[in-house]
Chain A
Amino acid sequence: MKRDPEKFWNPYLAGVALGLVLLASFVVMGKGLGASGASFRIGVAALSVLAPVHVATAPGLKSVAASPLDDWLVFEVLGVLLGGLVGGYTSGRLGVEVLRGPRASVALRIGMALGGGLLMGFAAKLARGCTSGQALSGGAMLSAGSWAFMMMVFAGGYAIAWTFRRAWR
């Protein structure tokens, strides 16, 4: 098969495929998909190497301090990483590079990625999930809070998009 890095799946078919993965997760495991929950656990695991006493006593960390990596989500995220690798390899999009807007420097782009990631990690903990765990999984289960969350994600994105247009356009 020819590899074309600019060719993506039809969005409707991709949506159905993603929905079937999510449905399989509900049906087989009784769980939804997620990402940020695993990030937290990986962070706690890293921090407990540096400051074990602090992790064991901090009110916001100690709940997972005993065995931070022993969780369904951590394994699921490992799969996501592999899926990204294989998906990228088979589509010809695998390669070490920095994706950025035409007018953004590499330093600016990495800084933005770190800063935006920080905001999202914080926000995902606050909202008990990110776009995967809350919007996608909760939305499909018709959770009222998930739908409210999803509307606010789009609201936040559209609110700041104009300010950041030079970074992307």
Chain B
Amino acid sequence: MTFPFEWLVQGGREVGLVVAVAVGFGFGFVLERAGFGRAQKLVAQFYGDDMTVFKVMFGAIVTAMGGAVLLSGLGLMDLRAVADVATSPTWIWPMLVGGFVLGLGFIVSGYCPGTSIVAAGSGKVDGLATVAGVVAGTLLYGELMAWPAFAAFTESGDLGHLYLQDLLHLPAPVVALAVAAMAIGCFVGAERIERLLTRGPGTPVAPRRAVLAGFAGLALAGLATLALPRATEAVAVPSRISPEALARRVVDSPWKLRVLDLRSQEACAAARVPGAECTPASSLRDLDLGYAAPGRDLVLVADGELAEPPADVRAYRGRTLVLEGGWAAWKAWALEAPEALPAGATADAREAWLFRSGVHAALTGAKAAAPPAPAPGGAAPAKRKATGGGCSG
């Protein structure tokens, strides 16, 4: 994938922060010029005669959505991968309540959190007061997290990363086209309402026609990428997880995993990854994975390396991972005792070895191997002392 530029987040972090200021500047400048630095202009949306907020927001969504879908269709970007990072997972109950309360706060304060910063930047004291209120509100939330019932509510209705295309079982470009069509319909309707209520001329016709035609063209171009062979290929390759990474997740956070063992019933009944469900290929259909809540990552365990998940699994809306090397690799990693750690191993290797021998001991009932430090005859600590004494000695 060409975009986004990984190095801006990883190595070139300072440049990334400069980009952040630049992107924010564009955001603030456009909002100010749209009139979003003025409370009266914003709340006018809710008193009927000025639909600017609706038009700008929906127009921005259609533009960014159409561009992202088109770039992904052309193979320059992975829509789902970017979306998984750029957006939050869905916790439906707190989001519904939060949305409603934010709507109340919008009318009371006259701004939303972003536009209040724009207003403060252009000297509006009421904007600055709203910024202060928002900061206080986020801290209030942070303090309330100490109350277990509230903390539990904030995590309720966990649906994982859930997108409209998952809900509708349609390709993203088709959903994008539907959103664009809905937006164009709403814009035409909004103009009618404005003209009825204000009896004024409304916004100039020429730019509006051009923009709406542009939205339709962008969405159709996105749809056309479905005909490209590369666009569908990218989706089919599943992510892999190593036996060690799987073991760590099973130990640390088993509630975020669902391990499906695709081997025969007998083989799975004899030995399996802890917590795995025995689901031979023939029984997968009964799991109705397309309708299962996508909050947990699905991990597939086959006999050996699994090239492609079965069709019934591909319907799953959450993330699907394939165990690298399948059961054979798990058996070799977890059920056979690890070889003794070589002398002079790094701290990371030592930690990995301890973890592996712990898993081995837990799964096989074998006595846990002695800790690695004295095992290689005390060579490792001695060596470390000799080379690493610069600071302390």
Which A residues are closer than 8 A to B by beta carbons? 8-36, 39-40, 42-44, 46-47, 58-61, 72-73, 75-89, 91, 93-101, 109-110, 112-161, 164-165, 168-169
Contact = CB atoms under 8 A, between A and B. Distances in A.
B87 A32 contact: yes
B99 A23 contact: no
13 contacts: A14-B56, A18-B57, A23-B67, A27-B3, A73-B20, A84-B117, A113-B109, A118-B137, A119-B101, A121-B136, A142-B176, A143-B83, A168-B40
Contacts of A142: 65, 83, 163-165, 172, 175-176, 179
Contacts of B22: 79
A141 B47 contact: no
A60 B59 contact: no
5 residue pairs, one from A and one from B, having the closest CB atoms: A117-B133, A15-B59, A156-B103, A121-B137, A79-B24
B32 A83 contact: yes
Contacts of B89: 128, 145
Nearest to A114: B133
B97 interface: yes
Contacts, number: 570
A95 B105 CA distance: 25
Contacts of A165: 47
B268 interface: no
Interface of B: 3-6, 8-9, 16-35, 37-41, 43, 45-47, 51-52, 55-65, 67-68, 71, 77, 79, 82-83, 85-92, 94-127, 129-146, 151, 154, 159, 161-167, 172, 175-176, 179, 187, 203-204, 207-208, 211-212, 214
**Interface SS, B side:** helix
Contacts of A151: 99
Given A28-B4, A142-B175, A157 B46 contact: yes
B124 A97 contact: yes
B163 A30 contact: no
Nearest to A126: B98
Given A43-B139, A127-B99, A145-B159, A156 B106 contact: yes
Contacts of B138: 36, 39-40, 43, 121-122, 124-125
Q: Which of A11, A19, A84, A97 has the most CB of B within 10 A?
A: A84
A98 B125 contact: yes
B77 A123 contact: no
Contacts of A126: 94-95, 97-98, 101, 141, 154
Given A18-B30, A24-B26, A88-B32, A131 B114 contact: yes
A72 B16 contact: yes
Contacts of B132: 114, 117
B149 to A, nearest CB: 13
B106 A118 contact: no
Given A27-B4, A43-B139, A140-B61, 10 more contacts: A17-B33, A21-B23, A26-B3, A28-B8, A43-B142, A75-B24, A78-B24, A84-B31, A120-B134, A142-B164
A26 B68 contact: yes
Contacts of A93: 32, 37-38, 122
A158 B53 CA distance: 13
Contacts of B175: 142
A26 to B, nearest CB: 6
Contact of B211 (A12, A25, A124, A161): A12
